[in-house]
Amino acid sequence: MNTIALIILVALLFDFALNCLADYLNLSMLKDDLPRDFRGLYDPERYRKSQEYLKVNTRFGWVTASFDLVVIMVFWFGKGFPLLDEWVRALSHGPILSGLIYMAVLMISKSLISLPFGIYHTFVIEERFGFNQTTWKTYILDLLKGLFLGIILGTPLLAGILAFFEYAGASAWWLCWIAVTIYMLGVQFIAPTWIMPLFNKYTPLEAGELKSAILSYADAIKFPIENVYVMDGSKRSSKSNAFFTGFGAHRRIVLFDTLIKRHTTGELVAILAHETGHYKKKHIIQSLILGALQMGFTLYLLSLFISYSGLFEAFYMPRMSVYAGLIFFAMLYSPLDFFIGLLMQRLSRRNETEADHFSVETTRDPQSMVDALKKLSVHNLTNLLPHPFYVFLNYSHPPVLQRIKTILSR
Ligand SMILES: [Zn+2]
Q: How many A from CA of 355 to the centre of ligand 1?
A: 6
Q: How many A from CA of 55 to the centre of ligand 1?
A: 26
Mean pLDDT computed over 86-96: 92
Mean pLDDT computed over 99-122: 96
Please check the confidence at residue 225 and state whether its pLDDT lies above 90: no
Instruction: Give the strand pairing for 228-231 and 252-256.
Output: parallel
* Tens digit of each residue's pLDDT (9 = 90 or more) over 45-71: 889 999 999 999 999 999 999 999 999
Q: How many A from CA of 241 to the centre of ligand 1?
A: 10
Q: How many A from CA of 252 to the centre of ligand 1?
A: 14
Ranges of H-type helices in 121-135: 127-128
Q: Where does the pLDDT of residue 246 fall: very low under 50, low under 70, confident under 90, or very high at 90 and above?
A: confident
Please check the confidence at residue 301 and state whether its pLDDT lies above 90: yes
Q: How many A from CA of 276 to the centre of ligand 1?
A: 9
Q: What is the pLDDT of residue 129?
A: 95
Q: How many A from CA of 105 to the centre of ligand 1?
A: 37
Q: Where does the pLDDT of residue 178 fall: very low under 50, low under 70, confident under 90, or very high at 90 and above?
A: very high
Q: How many A from CA of 56 to the centre of ligand 1?
A: 26
Q: How many A from CA of 309 to the centre of ligand 1?
A: 44
Provide, rounded to the nearest whole percent, the portion of the chain with pLDDT above 90.
85
49-71: string of b/e by CB count within 10 Å (b at 16+)?
ebbebbeebbeeeeeeeeebeee
Higher-pLDDT residue of 169, 127: 127
Three-state SS across 234-260? HHCECCCCEEEECCHHHCEEEEEHHHH
Q: How many A from CA of 152 to the centre of ligand 1?
A: 30
Q: How many A from CA of 256 to the centre of ligand 1?
A: 14
Q: Where does the pLDDT of residue 270 fall: very low under 50, low under 70, confident under 90, or very high at 90 and above?
A: very high
Task: List C-alpha distances in Å: 146 to 14, 57, 99, 319.
Answer: 31, 24, 21, 33
